[in-house]
Amino acid sequence: MDRQKIKEAGLKLTPQRLAILDYLRDNLEHPSAEDIYKAILERFPTMSFATVYNTLETLREKGAIQELTIDPQKKRFDPNPRPHHHLICNRCKKILDIHIDYQLHVPEEKKNGFEIVGNHIEFYGICPGCRLKMSGMQS
Amino acid sequence: MDRQKIKEAGLKLTPQRLAILDYLRDNLEHPSAEDIYKAILERFPTMSFATVYNTLETLREKGAIQELTIDPQKKRFDPNPRPHHHLICNRCKKILDIHIDYQLHVPEEKKNGFEIVGNHIEFYGICPGCRLKMSGMQS
DNA sequence: TATTAATTGATAAATATTATCATATTGAAA
DNA sequence: TTTCAATATGATAATATTTATCAATTAATA
Ligand SMILES: [Mn+2]
Ligand SMILES: [Mn+2]
Ligand SMILES: [Zn+2]
Ligand SMILES: [Zn+2]
């Protein structure tokens, strides 16, 4: 989301918002609110944690980002609002994009009257880094 | 999980465990820890919330249940440990099983070195109950 | 029945998120 | 530019969920 789009969404152009959006732009790490807060604190020491949450919620409302519920411990944020899938490392919780368009048809008789509007696939696995650490230790 | 299997897993047969397992047996609602606690309290007033969490974690370790991370607010528990997919109502968070075996192939070049061990599809939608409530009100 | 290792339950602590609200800032209008 | 109202921020409290601690209890075995 650029300055143009922020205004179009009826949002004020604050330094905090710009810092958060700047941090998220092209970010593929799916950071948590705390990740974002800590990263920005270094260059923006007056940033409040509450503002991070406020801003993320505002951006989500406007459809500029999405909230991921993949990590059981905390919400993770994705600056790419377009539907795509994810691969998560069971060990370190690293999240990677999977851009593949699967055709997931659900026959009417399995919908139980639901109106389906979307889907999201979580792939589970072990990342290369964790695999290395694991080989050479037990369990 | 029946009495037989509990013993085989090296677990003691306590009334609390039996109550929780009994509540979960054939339960298709994917209840939260609190749901489980409240339901059992009625018939088992000495049950502690900590015991619910302890028991659920023990059962998960033993592979008897699975923890779902579909609901952003809280963990939900599924007495069916076999892989299957879910359909969640965006409005009321009701969760339904989807038993369909999709073949989700990920080409090597999109795995980024990950070793993929499983997957889980979340379908999003609106349940019949919520659809009814929505027709007749705005937003 | 005695023993002991596992389990429970009370409670504190940790973690993550949301709410509150006085103060500050933005953007538009004058 | 200055003024002003709506919006946003930041400090902090409150809430919600989950995990940790540990003394007391209980299940299973001998
Ligand atoms: Mn993503
Ligand atoms: Mn299920
Ligand atoms: Zn990893
Ligand atoms: Zn619903």
Q: Which residues contact A122 (CB under 8 A, 6 or more apart)?
A: A70, A85, A86, A87, A88, B119, B120, B121, B122
**pLDDT at A139 > cutoff 80:** no
Q: What is the pLDDT of residues B85-136, one digit of tens each?
A: 999 999 999 999 999 999 999 999 999 999 999 999 999 999 999 999 888 7
What is the rounded average pLDDT of the residues A45-74? 95
Residue A127 forms contact with B (CB below 8 Å) = yes
* Alpha carbon of A85 to ligand 1 centroid (Å): 7
Phi, psi of B136, deg, nearest 5: 115, -5
- The residue assigned the tokens 């974002």 is A36
Average pLDDT of the residues of chain A:
93
pLDDT of residue B20: 96
Closest CA to B99 of B83, B112, B115, B114: B83
| Domains observed in chain B | 3-78 (1.10.10.10), 85-138 (3.30.1490)
Q: How confident is the model at residue A23 (pLDDT cuts 50, 70, 90)?
A: very high
User: Any CB–CB contact under 8 A between A89 and chain B?
Assistant: yes
pLDDT for B134:
84
Q: What's the Å distance between residue A42 CA and nucleotide C2 C1'? A: 63
Please give the pLDDT value at position A123: 97
CB-CB under 8 Å, A113 with B125: no
What are phi and psi for residue A45, nearest 5 degrees? -65, -10
Closest residue, chain A, to B116 (C-alpha): A125
Residue A127 has pLDDT above 80, yes or no: yes
For residue B135, the distance in angstroms to the closest alpha carbon of chain A comes to: 13
**What pLDDT digit, counting tens, does each position of B9-31 carry?**
999 999 999 999 999 999 999 99
The residue of chain B nearest to residue A69, with distances taken between CA atoms, is B72
pLDDT in tens, B45-80: 999 999 999 999 999 999 999 999 999 999 999 999
Q: Strand C closer than 7 Å to the CB of A73?
A: yes
Distance from C-alpha of B23 to C-alpha of B36, rounded to nearest angstrom:
7
B18 CA from C28 C1′ (Å): 66
Give pLDDT, residue A1.
86
Q: Are the C-beta atoms of B92 and B129 separated by less than 8 Å?
A: yes
Q: Is the Cβ pair A125, B110 closer than 8 Å?
A: no
> Is A138 a residue whose pLDDT tops 70?
no
Rounded to the nearest angstrom, the minimum Cα separation between B93 and chain A is 12
Q: pLDDT at position B42, please? A: 87
Average pLDDT over residues A112-125: 96
The pair of structure tokens assigned to B13 is 């047969």
Answer whether residue B41 shows pLDDT above 80.
yes
- Kindly give the distance from the C-alpha atom of residue A138 to the centroid of ligand 2, in angstroms, as a whole number: 32
DSSP-derived letter for residue B108 is: G
pLDDT at residue A75 above 80? Answer: yes
A127 and B116 in contact by Cβ < 8 A? no
Residue B12, CB, strand C, below 7 Å: yes
